[in-house]
Chains A and B, each alone.
Chain A
Amino acid sequence: MTMESSPLPDHASGHLPPEGDPPGTDAAGAAPVEPAAVPTGPAAVAVEADEDAVTGPVPVEAQGVAARPEPAGAGGAEPGAKASSRESCPACAAPVSAQDRFCEECGRNLRVQRTPLGGPEAVADPACGCGGAFDADGYCGRCGRARPSVRDRVEFVLPGLAGVSDRGRRRQRNEDSMAFGRARGRGVAAVVCDGVASSERAEQASQLAVDVALDVLLTAVQTGGDLEGATGDAVLAADAAVGRLARPGAEQVAPSCTFVSAVLTDDTATVGWVGDSRAYLVAGAGAARLTTDDTWAAHLVAEGVLTEEEALTDRRAHVLSRWLGADSGLDAPQTVTFRVETPGLLVLCSDGLWNYLPEPEDLLAVLPRGVAPVEVARELVEVALKSGGHDNITVVVLQLRGGHGA
């Protein structure tokens, strides 16, 4: 699909408010926009004052960042004033200066922040909820419960975007994965993949897919490459990587996953997808679905065989017609590209969320207003959990500034 000037791709349902409407996320919309034209802006320490104003003082805990978030009021401080000795590398905690592109100590790229490769890092849980201690095998010595997997509940926050991934209430493992990152002054990218439950090592497949794809997308963001082309490359790279996980002779259960990505520069966004993970656009009082599911049911709806309503309860509702993996036969994702003109939110999610909120209006009805992306993601996951949490739930929320320079 080629770039469109409208934020609404033609197949998207729902509606957007007239232009100029105050955005639903006022705080976000009114916040200063990252000066993309100043590539050597304030050092890319993990938390920056100007970004705090956008996201709220949410510490990037998952990265073990040494720097404290600054109060929002400090946002106006000029770059020079920030180059104080308390800034440190998020990887090795060595002091860095505001102008550094790389950490002198460990070589970390200070301009790019992203979720850790391989997923969340294990944080040793000292005690079980019952008060007992976990043994070497990870079982509570008192109540016997297994130590929750670090994947059971994952939250990650970056300035301007955040994600929450949850095992849900019924599944034994969280086979969803998410990865996202930002290149300072350039843009952000995010990927959500949902491991196919009937395949082997589905969580490994989804984690590998998000990591590989994010890498491609962030590179494109940094180099200013073509976003649609990058999205296609990201999907094919992830598809090939996941395909290599397959065992010879076990093609029927080859590790597989779905895919949905968003890549965002200051005025343009591209969404790409394979399978039934979705992207929604929320702006002002309206919401729209940007993706069409690659499922047999969706196919039958398109053909007029099933109605939308019938499809929801049809047993084929989740049978994928396209996926990533050794047996995918994939040549390209579906993509949609649009100009970001109004502030709003882009929501990427796995079917663990949209099962309960299938229509854009449903999403809009429960969406909290005026809060940071991580709060939005948490609330949406909470809705899915309260509705039964039958599947893994992953939600990544990206802030759209829209009206660049507003």
Chain B
Amino acid sequence: MALEFAVEVFQNEFLPEGAAEVNAILTVSATGDAGGGAAEPDADAAQVIIVDTSGSMRYPPAKLAAAKRATEAAIDALRDGVKFAVIAGTERAEMVYPALRLLSDASPQARVVAKRAVAKLQADGGTAMGQWLLLAQEVFRGHDSGPRHAILLTDGQNQHETPEQLTAVLDRVAGAFTGDCRGVGTDWQVAELRRISEALLGTVDIVAEPEGLAEDFRAMTATAMGKAVADVSLRLWTPEGAEVKFLKQASPGLLDLTDRRVEAAPRTGDYPTGAWSGAESRDYHLCVRVKPANVGERMLAGRVSLVGPGGDVLGQGRVLAVWTDDTALSTRMSPEVAHYTGQAELAEAIQEGLEARKSGDVETATARLGRAVRLAHESGNTGTAKLLAKVVEVQDPATGTVKLRARVADVDEMTLDTRSTVTKRVGKDR
């Protein structure tokens, strides 16, 4: 299925004399073939489910049972013909289905056999997530024709690997497949799973109650199978002497892509965006420093293209800079840029606030979480505001006056941390 990408650029291109920094929000929307709409994509998707079967999954017993049910639900959601595999992870990684390190075609028969293998899973052993990811990479190898997506479920910390080992693995597997991470319970580390999900260009979320897993897995599988094109890159041209300060996905969630740049041509770099369905829209925040030109001059500060796996350009947008001495023009801030700048600061304030709270720095924690409450309130991010209210007592959301709660459930704190990067999309009435 061919996708078309529209790139809309939201910015205030007017800069005061001497200013170098150009900010823009890029709204990238993919649409399928005319009349395609919700048409089924080519059944070329591949899905690998990685289930944590370390010893900790045994307690409470409902945890492993729920993980099995969720995996079975995901298997049931696979369309016939979709390639899939199930991996069990401990300090090593083992194939659950199929037995060989390959992808299997989904079929009624295959689903039955796979679910039977899942039902037999037992929890025992340690945790080395890097090993799990490497096996997934091996299983995906050779599947170049469509989206490759993994679901990683864990309940604990990556105890049998150093952070450096995990980093090395993430560098190897980045780009090989995309993936979403789910943490069940409250014994896993948000920062660790976030690192993995960012490398895999996916999401991380907490599933506090094991009962919620099955529906979540089904939904993720459906989304993964809805992807029509894998390995789409955002190609960015900037003028000579320019510096890309950052390029982040700003919606649906924050995802910093700045360091993921691969040089494609002079002054041109590619940033991975993963797989896209035919009805999907994401926002990116681009910040470029250019060499300022004279007042009255106009410059192309960036050209953004969406590039398919074959190098074909699927859509394009322009980021401009115009220098002016009209302050009425140059002081106007783009509402889209302002909104996402605020959302990024909100995530930062939450993470810093929670960090300070953990280390007993009440003053910093109160200040940062108060700031977060205010930002959430101002931007209408009610989801995050609700999560914040479970960690702090909000006295005045408009000013961000808060008091730390004396007792906070682990799950509430982890949920807030995990979802701090979920942004509210900028108003569509723009």
- A interface residue numbers (CB < 8 A to B): 130, 132, 137, 139-146, 167-172
Contacts and interface: CB of A to CB of B under 8 A. Distances in A.
B298 A143 contact: no
B290 interface: yes
A121 to B, nearest CB: 21
A139 B240 contact: no
B297 interface: yes
Interface stretch (B168-176, B318-326, B337-345, B392-400): B318-326
A144 B300 CA distance: 5
17 contacts: A139-B299, A140-B239, A142-B267, A143-B291, A143-B299, A144-B240, A144-B242, A144-B290, A144-B299, A144-B301, A145-B299, A146-B299, A168-B296, A170-B295, A170-B325, A172-B298, A172-B322
A142 B240 contact: yes
B327 interface: no
B240 A143 contact: yes
Nearest to B329: A172
A132 B299 CA distance: 13
Nearest to B299: A144
Which residue, A139, A141, A144, has most C-beta atoms of chain B within 10 A?
Answer: A144
A142 B296 contact: no
Top 9 nearest A-B pairs (CB, nearest first) are A144-B239, A139-B300, A146-B298, A144-B300, A144-B299, A170-B295, A143-B239, A142-B240, A172-B296
A172 B300 contact: no
A130 B293 CA distance: 13
Contacts of B295: 169-170
B223 interface: no
Interface string B281-299: 0000000001101111111
A167 B297 CA distance: 10
Contacts of B296: 167-172
Nearest to A197: B326
Contacts of A143: 239-241, 291, 299
Contacts of B293: 145
Given A130-B240, A137-B318, A170-B325, A145 B298 contact: yes
Nearest to B321: A144
Contacts of B298: 145-146, 172
Contacts of B241: 143
A174 to B, nearest CB: 10
Nearest to A168: B296
Interface residues of B, number: 24
Contacts, number: 52
Contacts of A145: 239, 293, 297-300
A171 B323 CA distance: 9
B239 A142 contact: yes
Contacts of A140: 239, 300
A153 B17 CA distance: 22
A275 B342 CA distance: 47
Contacts of A130: 240
B240 A146 contact: no
A142 B301 CA distance: 11
A145 B301 CA distance: 9
A140 B303 CA distance: 11
A59 B329 CA distance: 42
A146 B297 contact: yes
Nearest to A389: B296
B300 A146 contact: yes
B239 A172 contact: no
Given A169-B295, A170-B324, 7 more contacts: A132-B240, A141-B237, A143-B240, A145-B300, A146-B299, A168-B296, A172-B324
A144 B291 CA distance: 10
B40 to A, nearest CB: 37
B313 to A, nearest CB: 13
B255 to A, nearest CB: 27
Contacts of B237: 141
A132 B240 CA distance: 10
Contacts of B267: 142
A1 B238 CA distance: 59
Contacts of B324: 170, 172
Nearest to B242: A144
A375 B303 CA distance: 41
Contacts of B238: 144
Nearest to B241: A143
Interface in B346-379: none
Nearest to B293: A145
A347 B325 CA distance: 29
Interface in B199-241: 237-241
Contacts of B300: 137, 139-140, 144-146
B267 to A, nearest CB: 7
A211 B242 CA distance: 43
Contacts of A171: 296
Contacts of B290: 144
A135 B421 CA distance: 38
B264 to A, nearest CB: 14
A67 B298 CA distance: 37
A171 B294 CA distance: 10
Interface string B387-410: 000000000000000000000000
B73 to A, nearest CB: 49
Nearest to A139: B300
A201 B299 CA distance: 21
A145 B291 CA distance: 11
A119 B295 CA distance: 24
A169 B296 CA distance: 6
